[in-house]
Amino acid sequence: MVAATRELPSSGYALEVDGLLKTEFATRDGARAGGVELKKRFPRLQIKIYDAETKVREEIPLR
């Protein structure tokens, strides 16, 4: 069985949780706020923000 893959967004930002794209955001601030909240609730998850314009991932650190 092959799982469906989700394509990278062409604009905006997305949250990547343990290597899987989950939620898309229009702004970086929105994506960061969502990622920080998720990281507080589940600190063991690896959460990154994907920037579609620059194609760069930024990890949300544990605070």
Q: pLDDT of 15-39, one tens digit each?
A: 999 999 988 999 999 999 999 999 9
Q: How many CB atoms lie within 10 A of CB 1?
A: 2
CA–CA gap between residue 35 and residue 60 (Å, rounded):
7
pLDDT band at 5 (very low <50, low <70, confident <90, very high): low
Residue 32 lies in a domain: yes
Q: Is residue 7 part of a domain?
A: no
CB atoms within 10 A of CB 14: 20
E strands, the chain, in order: 13-17, 20-25, 47-51, 56-59
pLDDT of residue 56: 94
Residues β-bridged to residue 50 = 14, 57
- The reply to whether 17 falls in a domain is yes
Residue 5 lies in a domain: no
Rounded Cα distance between 60 and 32, Å, is: 8
**Residue 3 in domain:** no
